[in-house]
Chain A
Amino acid sequence: MSARPVPPTFATGAVRVFSLSLGEMLWSRRTVFLLLVTGAPVFLALVARIVQGSGVVPLRVNGAAVDGGSIFGMMIWVFFLRFIVPVLGVFYGTSLIADEVEDRTITYLFTRPIRRGAVLVGKYLAYLVSTTLVVLPSVVLVYFLLVPLGQVARTFVAFAVDLGLLALGLASYGALFALVGAALKRPLVSGLVFVFGWEQIALLVPGYLKKFTIAYYVQGLVPHAMPSEGVATLLQSVLRDNPPALVCIVTLAAVVGATLWLGVRAVESREYVLDQ
């Protein structure tokens, strides 16, 4: 009599789901959205570069020319931090389990001889790799299009920090919305409300409420000044309650760990009822 096959460990199961999901995720319709969203800043940077090359200053504030490094800083704030990272986190994170439920394919995954939690973790890793490998190269292209090589020595550390904090932001938002997707019935709506409702309001309200947002900790790591044309923004940047970098990193890492663990618990305990 042959020995019964040993079921794969949690980590092995997660890696198998990761390699299966990565291709699916990259070649899905959602990737078109991802490419459009991350391609827009590259396109704008290219236009700015062409305009600059023709001798025209691409951006002026109060009549003064804004240098490439400052434009890059603005784009990190406006495009990547305030829009791309949270939006990708919502759209991809909430869909990790919800899409399988909607397509009624979750049964096939759950009947595999791996733990249910490993499915979530494997899919989360696939999300992290596919989004970072689209977002970060886009940031690299924007940086080298906007910042002259002569300024790279001065701005490289800030650029490296930008890449790190964007990856951390994607990891945090993705893990949080993976939990939301695993635990709630309408995860996308809840995610959008969190990103465009709760976070926007909490960041403006004086007091401790902002500490219950991810944006507060991600923005605390940004090495660029908060962009704005007027005094209001200057004041906002002066009054911005900047938590120490270590606090931001530890908190974001804790968010990733805690929400993923809760997500795994939710997937393993919840009964997913498929619509007929």
Chain B
Amino acid sequence: MTKPTRLFLFVSGGILAAGLGTGLVAAYVGGFQNLTLFAATGPDELAYLPADAKVVAFANVREIMASELHQKLQALVPRNENGLARFQEETGVDMTRDVDYVLAAIGGDLAAGPEQGRPLVMAHGHFDNVRIEGLVRSKGGMVEDYKGIRFLKATEPNGGMDMALAFVEPGLIAMGSDAAVRQAIDGHSGSANATGNAELTRLVKDASDGNAWVVARFDALSAAGKIPPEVAQRLPAINWLTLSGHVNGGISLAARAEARDDAAAKNLRDVLQGILALAKLQTGQRADLTAIMDSVELGGEGKNVSLGLSVPIEVVDHLAALRTPTGVTPPPAAP
């Protein structure tokens, strides 16, 4: 091997090693975020969700709060700052800055009563544990140790559902019904959790491109009364429904339904095709809505049916202008 060849190998290898080394150190210092093999299997917190989760939803709060769309919407429809300020004062949590992302799930049989459809919310961010614990105590709540984890419990005076909150990991809290939070802790330390549900993890993986998404069993939605019975009866057999959205300048949405079989998927495509044609007729005269309707694409193959649409920021601006009285310009978005 000649000297120039050795020099080349040394320089190339050096760049590669320096890059990997720097990245490794930075990732180590930053706590190795997103450390999942091939990083596309959904959030790590799936291991806290119940294996029989019927609905799983995720929102990257930090990205959505920082999005241009949110800034515009905030300018258009101001939030109840008093409520947020009070919440921050009591808990020490600034919803706009301290929460990174939220993952929620509902497990059990939704039709069998509130005890069965147990909600669970996992929130990742920067939390003042002491202040939150103090708040729960001041409201008459109790604190206990459950499998080495600080477990806060509050019972509603009217005899409603027992609510609980647990600091399961640094920067990660689990909230929900008492039973759901205990199940989350048990599931994470064992193997009976959502990561063992191959069908669910596959759908979560597919949906996790967006910064907000929902994966739901269709029968769970209809049993919970989220879909009007007259609509549910007329729809072809659907197993799973996935909604994935990316919020940034505008919104890109992709909905996907997994039907029971190919014939049911074809029926659903036909139904949606008809609805879309009707909607296009109805919105033909509205330039703002036409832009949205033109972006709608219906597709899918086999058992899958997909529907995508995009709402560009210009359309949001246009809708904002319609809401704003003439001569008043909405305040510019914060940088």
Measured CB to CB, the residues of A under 8 A from B are 19, 22-23, 26-27, 60-65, 129, 133-134, 136-137, 140-141, 143-144, 149, 152-161, 163, 206, 221, 223, 225, 230-232, 234-235, 237-239, 242, 245
Contacts and interface: CB of A to CB of B under 8 A. Distances in A.
B73 interface: no
Nearest to B296: A231
Given A160-B20, A238-B206, A223 B248 contact: no
B27 A156 contact: yes
A275 B184 CA distance: 73
B313 A64 contact: yes
A212 B19 CA distance: 34
A60 B249 CA distance: 9
B279 interface: no
Interface stretch (B32-40, B109-117, B137-145, B165-173): B32-40
Contacts of B306: 235, 238-239
B299 A234 contact: no
A235 B254 contact: yes
CB-based closest 5 A-B pairs:
A153-B30, A64-B249, A140-B19, A156-B27, A152-B26
Nearest to A153: B30
A148 B37 CA distance: 23
B297 interface: yes
Contact of A63 (B5, B18, B249): B249
Give the secondary structure class of A's interface: helix
Contact of B209 (A22, A60, A225): A225
Contacts of B254: 231, 234-235, 238
B295 A23 contact: no
Contacts of A134: 12
Interface in B288-328: 295-297, 299-301, 304, 306, 308-310, 312-314
A22 B40 CA distance: 36
B12 A157 contact: no
Contacts of A140: 15-16, 18-20
Contacts of B249: 60-65
B299 A235 contact: yes
6 contacts: A26-B4, A26-B8, A64-B313, A137-B19, A163-B16, A223-B40
B308 A64 contact: no
A237 B313 CA distance: 22
A123 B145 CA distance: 63
A269 to B, nearest CB: 31
B77 interface: no
Given A19-B1, A157-B36, A231 B312 contact: no
A144 B22 contact: yes
Contacts of A232: 297, 308
